[in-house]
Structure 1
Amino acid sequence: MNTSFITVLSAATEPGRIIGFDVQLLFDLAEQWFATMVIVFILYKLLFKPATDFLDKRKVGIAKNIDDANKSKVEAIELKKNYESKLAKIEDEANQILKDTRAKALLREEQIIKEAKEEAENIKRKALDDIKLEQERIKDELKKEMIEVSTIMASKFVSASIDETKQNEMIDDIIKEMGDVQWLS
């Protein structure tokens, strides 16, 4: 390469010529051009071709990843919509279940109150019947006692003829004997 540079300079020193094109210069240029082409071809095959293949594959991979990400995003949005609609349905179902449960509870409450009222009425009726029976029993006992008292009084009146003061004393004695008895009507 040094010789061709010197040749170019020496040709430039000749008067009237800027560059001297002699055979040696053309041969050197052809040789350099061939060497450059071989280097370019080797670099193309060894570096440029694999690098462009790698970049193309990388570009395709990135495009595929972007497409997959977009598809995943669309699927995620769709799943979100599905879950939100299902969640809304679940909330509606829960509200409906609560509403039905409240209605059933109110019906059951009314039924329990009705049964309690009926039972209270039955207890009240039974208590009234028991009171009537007890009143009848007490009336019967009072009648028996009155009969006994009347018999005792009659026997005492008959056995002794007494005057009014004596009669009042006897009535007081009989009442004391009987004790404090309440007279029921």
Structure 2
Amino acid sequence: MQGLVEFVLSNFIFTLINLWIMYWVLKKFLFKPTTEYMEGRKKSIADSIQEAEMKNKEADESKAQYDMKLQDIKKERSQIIDEATKRAEKRGDEIIKAAEDEAEKVIERAMTEIQREKQKSLNEMKNEISQLAIAAATKVIEKDLDEGTHHKMIQQFIDEVGETKWQN
């Protein structure tokens, strides 16, 4: 009986050739594509990480620009509100001033009208008093009056003038 393990040169050479063929086939069809795939995957992951970092940086820059624009908008909004408030206050002051001026004009016109009416009333009273005095004088001249009649006519004249004065 021969031993379980025997060294046979032909088997050894055949095994070496088979190993070498197997190594070459595996290298050609398995190791090379797998290595290329792994390198490609590694490169793809590195590119994705780099792209993500760039996008993250761009996002940070965009956020900074957005924050700056937001602050500018807030400043502009405040300026617009301040300007509108100032314009409204100015317009309110103008309206109040115009109303005060108009009120003064109305008061002046009313005072002028009152003065004119007062003067008109005084003139009318003077005319009536003059007419009454002329009428009384005419009556006195027409009649030869005694003292009692004369006092009676004066009293009557005063009563008529008083009534005229109170009627106006």
Shorter-chain TM-score range:
0.7 to 0.9
Which consecutive residues of structure 1, in runs of 5 or more, have no partner in the other structure? Answer: 1-8, 13-18
Q: Which residue of 2 aligns with 1:181?
A: 167
Cα deviation, 1:30-70, whole Å, max 9, x if unaligned, reads: 21221122122112211221121112111111110110111
Aligned length: 165
* 1:148 is the counterpart of 2:161: no
Of 50, 53, 56, which residue of structure 1 is paired with 2:33? Answer: 50
Counterpart Cα distance in 2 of 1:90 and 1:48: 61
Cα deviation, 1:121-172, whole Å, max 9, x if unaligned, reads: 2222222122211211111111111112222223333334363574377448
Q: Which residue of 2 aligns with 1:83?
A: 66
Normalised to the residue count of structure 2, the TM-score between the two structures is: 0.82
Q: CA deviation at 1:82?
A: 0.9
Q: Which residue of 1 aligns with 2:2?
A: 10
Partners of 2:136 and 2:157 within 8 A in 1:
yes
Normalised to the residue count of structure 1, the TM-score between the two structures is: 0.75
* 1:67 is the counterpart of 2:59: no
Identity of aligned residues (%): 28
Counterpart Cα distance in 2 of 1:112 and 1:176: 50
Q: Which residue of 1 aligns with 2:109?
A: 126
Which consecutive residues of structure 2, in runs of 5 or more, have no partner in the other structure? Answer: none
Q: CA deviation at 1:88?
A: 0.6
The 5 A counterparts of 1:17-28 are 19-21=5-7, 25-28=8-11
Q: Which residue of 2 aligns with 1:102?
A: 85
Q: CA deviation at 1:178?
A: 5.2
More RCO (CA 8 Å, sep 6+): 2
Of 17, 27, 30, which residue of structure 1 is paired with 2:13? Answer: 30
